Chains A and B, each alone.
Chain A
Amino acid sequence: MAEWLDKRIKHVFIFPAIIVTVLLLVFPLIYTVYMSLTSWSGSAIQGPRFIGLDNFTQLLGADDRFGAAAGRTLLFTGVTVAFELVLGYVIALLLRKSFRGERLTRTLILLPVVATPVAISMAWMVIYDPNIGVANQFLQAIGLQAQQFLADPSAALWWLMVVDVWQWTPMIALILLAGLTSLPEEPFEAALVDGASAPQRFRFITFPLMIPVMFAALVLRLVDSLKTFDIIYATTKGGPGTATETLNTYGFMQAFEYTNFGLASAVIILFILIVLVITLITSKGNERAGRVLQ
């Protein structure tokens, strides 16, 4: 008996975790899948009607807003993550050598990351205000034309990307900085002995060694950026028109503004699929990069 228990005690210990996972993850997910096959407006009188895949065919076929929102989600994620990686890398390289005020700088750089996104959004709304904001005063001071910023349908999404890059680049920089400082010293010493120049050392040693760290940062940021909701909702609510609507804000509108719970669930299911595919591709890339290194 004691032996039996010894062998199985591990299952007992993970049981609470399984319950929590099922309750908070598996059940809602399955339920969302079910809801996505129904049509329901939240009525106490009219129950959900099972309509099969109609929501999906509507979203993928007739619904222009969905396609446009998906495109914007990918564009937003692609551009912000690319900028954040490059800028983050540059900042990490600059911060790598120790200098006076190093700790203070690192602390300051972290500020955007720890601030509440909604508070940040409010601050940027004031900055971006076309009539009283400092952004236009700055642009005009350096001789550029005043902008409409978030009120310009063709540019609003790009100005939101600026906010995202501003907020999250420091985090990437810190992750990469941690990677840089933990690189082994031997290859660099050997390269110095062999007379490699600084660019050569970067190209042939630092960069390849950093690839796994960069992938870690990439995956982390990619998933997060795809999910961006707060800065968009707090600033433009997807507007002007639908110019900054992403899958997240579209799903939110469908659920809580229009009470189309079935359709909202379908949006979220499709969104999860997109995130899943992107994450899979990225982790495959990570594996391949790891293999090349070996």
Chain B
Amino acid sequence: MNRILPLIIVALALLAFATLFLVAGPAAQIRTIEPPEGLEPYSEAEQRGREVYVSMGCVYCHTQQPRSSEQAPDATRGWGRASTAADYVYDEPHLLGTMRTGPDLLNVGARLPSRQWHLTHLYQPRAVTPTSIMPSFPFLFEAKEKAGSDDVVVKLPEQYRPEGKVIVAKQAALDLTDYLLSLDRTYPVEHDHLRDNGFRAEKEDS
């Protein structure tokens, strides 16, 4: 092999071949799906909250892709049915994630619908789950002498309350909570084939 140009051309051709299969192929299949009936676009506040989720890097510890019950007991854990491509039509950037240092969050809004719970948990996760290793986000909150009329006060166990002060949520914390509550993909599934069904029992194949 003594010439640069053929080397480069073949190398690029192989990459193009791979791209056709791994990017263009699935894109052609996924692109045409309609949003499911039960799925609403994010509201403005939810979208802002989603941006907080992205900027804090929540995706590095939380997935948003429950697996099928043939593969793993994700549904048993309350994380919801196996997701399909249609469940993410409004998601940009995608937040599928690859780590479960924390639980899957695709249906956290349905599982934990209390706004107060989320605010407490974001301010101090160990106030809710003593062994949690989730970071606390005190900078999304404010300690005040007295809450104003519009302020959302965070309920906290005594040991986590600063003396003589109340903790109120900043806008970012409220938005983030709105986003988390919007995570609810419990409507019935459509386009079941647009997911990895490699674990399905054999009877399906025939």
User: Do A and B truly interact?
Assistant: no
Name B residues whose Cβ lies closer than 8 Å to a Cβ of A.
none
Name A residues whose Cβ lies closer than 8 Å to a Cβ of B.
none
